[in-house]
Structure 1
Amino acid sequence: MRYLLTLHMNPTLWATLTDEQKNGVYEGHGAFIKLVTESGEMVETKALAEPAETTTVQVKDGVAHTKTGGFVESDAFLCGYYIVDVESEARAVELAAKIPDAQYTAVEVRKIVHEG
């Protein structure tokens, strides 16, 4: 079963971390990638740009309208994800707990129900 593990960034919280804590997060991602690659559970990972570099498109009455920024107005934003192929939801949750961001913000575990 494939699961999407989403990472969310809160810039206000990130700004309170020490350089040592930030480096721990970066190094933790390297260790996590190694773990799921060696176990054969890694499918894909991507880091995403901040909302200021995002264009949101919404169609109203057949006309596309765009705005700079994310769809949801929030302090936190989707900053990246992992897709893992695991035996169970319990394993996906176990892996999500190993992602360093989980120490500071939540990591969402969502089953992928369709792939095109």
Structure 2
Amino acid sequence: MKYLCLAYYDVPTYEALTPEQKSALFPKCKPHDDALRATKKLVVSASLGAAPRTARTRAGKVSITDGPYVETKEQIGGLFIIEADDFEEAMEIAAKHPAARIGEELGWVVEVRPIDRWLEPEP
């Protein structure tokens, strides 16, 4: 079964970091992703940009606005999709991700959701 893992970060805490501190965070993810990919448990991994936009329909018209759908100080900074036998294994895998490991000092967290329906891309 596949699971979507969303890595959230605390915006004010992240913005308070120096450029050197910020650049030191990202190299921690690649070795982790490479090791997980070797086990065939990692399907995809991606970092997300910090300027989201939202599209929604109101009164029959599509409205596009800046920002995330909900007001929150936490933003999604990345995602990864994993293969796991069950939710317990998915949580074990997610707990080893660097975003989960630096959560206490930087306010980061990894949310795990089962993917109910997976559509393979057409050839």
Secondary structure of 1:56's counterpart equals: strand
Partner of 2:14: 14
* Identical residues among aligned pairs (%): 23
- 2:110 aligns with 107
Q: Does 1:37 align with 2:40?
A: no
Alignment RMSD (CA, Å):
1.8
Q: How does 1:36-115 map to 2 (within 5 A)?
A: 36-50=36-50, 53-102=51-100, 103-104=102-103, 105-115=108-118
SS in 1 for 2:37: helix
Q: Which blocks of at least 5 consecutive residues in structure 1 are unaligned?
A: none
Q: Which runs of 4+ in 1 moved over 3 A?
A: 15-22
Distance 1:92 1:57 in 2: 31
CA distance in 1, matches of 2:21, 2:62: 44
After TM superposition, the score normalised by the length of structure 2 is 0.81
Distance 1:92 1:101 in 2: 15
Separation (CA, whole Å) in 2 of partners of 1:114 and 1:31: 29
Normalised by the length of structure 1, the TM-score is: 0.85
Q: Call closer, same or farther: CA 1:71–1:85 in 2, change over 3 Å.
A: same
Task: Give the Cα–Cα distance (whole angstroms) in 2 for the partners of residues 67 and 46 of structure 1.
Answer: 23
